[in-house]
């Protein structure tokens, strides 16, 4: 048996994480933030829990949500909010009478799943003292499924997108990394951004000096896109000017390696990010 989780909110990244990484734990269903849409899902889906995935929600939307929360309360459906500290604090300030389970980012998908599952199991035990054996069976099944998923994830090679206008650098990095990672290459920022619109990667190795659009501009667009804003990025560059380095570091890349690239340092940097 899986718990039914109804999801809404502006944070599509978190919603995607539920569908991608927590499908062994939950039956996930998403809805828009429209009142009629949410109420229709509540009526016909009958979720076990409602999860509001926050990302710069408008105050009016949060205020309107108070009406939905009353419907959830009448049906004994608990509310969970997931988001960073600022978004969670804004939610509490705008809707102080609501009492959701608050899960603040950064928090792993495993911990999100565990917190929601433990809450739901606790509610079942309180309403039905004889449900403890059923809960243990469910927990064992979920643990087994999680182990299978972990094994599948470990067997999948991590993917890296290499962005550099120098074909010699691309060939060198491909030759060095191809045995351990799945690779894709882009000769400029425009090609890289088009790739990220359609496909996913686990890490971007990004050149700084490129024609038309430099690496800093590309990173700004990656961070501005909700789908890719949490994507790890490591700069590979020959730039040594302090002001340029300072500007790049302000964008918070996960690494900054000077060219010519020290391959051992590159390897340890990637391993530190991807495991």
Give the pLDDT confidence score for residue 148 in this predicted structure.
Answer: 47
| pLDDT of 7 strictly over 70 | yes
- Condensed to tens digits (0 to 9), the pLDDT of residues 97-125 reads 888 999 998 888 888 998 999 898 888 77
Give the CA dihedral 195, 199, 204, 210, nearest 10 degrees: 0
Q: Write down the H helix ranges in the chain.
A: 12-21, 35-45, 59-74, 85-94, 109-127, 132-155, 167-177, 189-198, 215-224, 242-249, 263-274
Give the pLDDT confidence score for residue 260 in this predicted structure.
Answer: 87
- Condensed to tens digits (0 to 9), the pLDDT of residues 175-223 reads 899 878 899 999 999 999 999 998 999 999 999 888 888 888 999 999 8
- Condensed to tens digits (0 to 9), the pLDDT of residues 151-161 reads 545 446 789 99
- Considering the chain, what percentage of its residues have pLDDT values greater than 70? 88
| pLDDT of 79 strictly over 70 | yes
Instruction: Dig out the tokens for 35 from the structure.
Output: 């009142």
| pLDDT of 252 strictly over 60 | yes
What is Dmax (Cα atoms) for the chain? 68
Are the beta carbons of 149 and 174 closer than 8 angstroms?
no
All residues at 6 or more sequence positions from 240 whose CB lies less than 8 Å from its CB, including other chains? 258
| pLDDT of 226 strictly over 70 | yes
- Condensed to tens digits (0 to 9), the pLDDT of residues 210-221 reads 888 888 899 999
pTM of the model: 0.51
Mean pLDDT, rounded, of the chain? 84
Are the beta carbons of 3 and 48 closer than 8 angstroms?
yes
Give the pLDDT confidence score for residue 62 in this predicted structure.
Answer: 85
Give the pLDDT confidence score for residue 152 in this predicted structure.
Answer: 45
| pLDDT of 126 strictly over 90 | no
Is domain 3-150 classified as CATH 3.40.50.2300? yes
Is domain 159-274 classified as CATH 2.60.120.860? no
Q: Please, which pLDDT band fits residue 150 given cuts at 50, 70 and 90?
A: low
Q: Please indicate whether residue 136 or residue 85 has the higher confidence score (pLDDT).
A: 85
The whole-number average pLDDT for the span 161-185 is 90
- Condensed to tens digits (0 to 9), the pLDDT of residues 36-67 reads 899 999 988 899 999 999 998 888 888 888 78
**CA distances, 138 to each of 25, 142, 153 (Å):** 10, 6, 22
- Considering the chain, what percentage of its residues have pLDDT values greater than 90? 36
Q: Please, which pLDDT band fits residue 244 given cuts at 50, 70 and 90?
A: confident
| pLDDT of 78 strictly over 80 | yes
Q: Please indicate whether residue 2 or residue 90 has the higher confidence score (pLDDT).
A: 90
The domains spanning 3-150 and 159-274 adopt the same CATH topology: yes
Are the beta carbons of 105 and 84 closer than 8 angstroms?
yes
Each domain of the chain, given as residue ranges in start order, spans 3-150, 159-274
| Chain position carrying tokens 């496909």 | 199
């Amino acid at each position: 048996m899986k718990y039914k989780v109804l999801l809404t909110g502006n944070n599509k990244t978190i919603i995607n994480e539920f569908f991608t990484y927590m499908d062994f734990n939950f039956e996930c269903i998403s809805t828009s933030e429209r009142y009629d849409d949410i109420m229709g899902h509540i009526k016909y889906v009958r979720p076990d829990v409602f999860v509001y995935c926050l990302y710069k929600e408008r105050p009016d939307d949060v205020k309107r949500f108070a009406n939905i929360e009353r419907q959830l309360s009448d049906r004994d459906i608990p509310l969970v909010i997931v988001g960073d500290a600022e978004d969670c604090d804004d939610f509490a300030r705008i809707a102080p009478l609501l009492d959701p389970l608050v899960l603040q980012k950064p928090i792993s998908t495993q911990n999100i799943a565990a917190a929601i599952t433990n809450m739901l199991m606790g509610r079942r035990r309180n309403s039905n003292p004889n449900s403890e054996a059923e809960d243990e069976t469910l927990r064992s099944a979920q643990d087994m499924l999680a182990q299978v998923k972990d094994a599948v994830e470990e067997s999948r090679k991590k993917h890296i997108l290499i962005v550099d206008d120098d074909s010699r650098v691309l060939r060198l990095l491909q030759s060095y990394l191809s045995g351990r990672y799945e690779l894709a290459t882009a000769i400029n920022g425009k090609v890289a951004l088009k790739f990220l619109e359609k496909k996913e990667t686990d890490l971007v190795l990004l050149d700084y000096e490129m024609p038309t659009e430099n690496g800093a501009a590309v990173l700004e667009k990656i961070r501005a896109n909700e789908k890719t804003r949490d994507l790890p990025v490591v700069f590979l560059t020959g730039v040594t000017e302090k002001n340029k380095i300072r500007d790049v570091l302000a964008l918070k890349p996960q690494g900054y390696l000077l060219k010519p690239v020290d391959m051992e340092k590159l390897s340890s940097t990637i391993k530190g990010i991807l495991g």
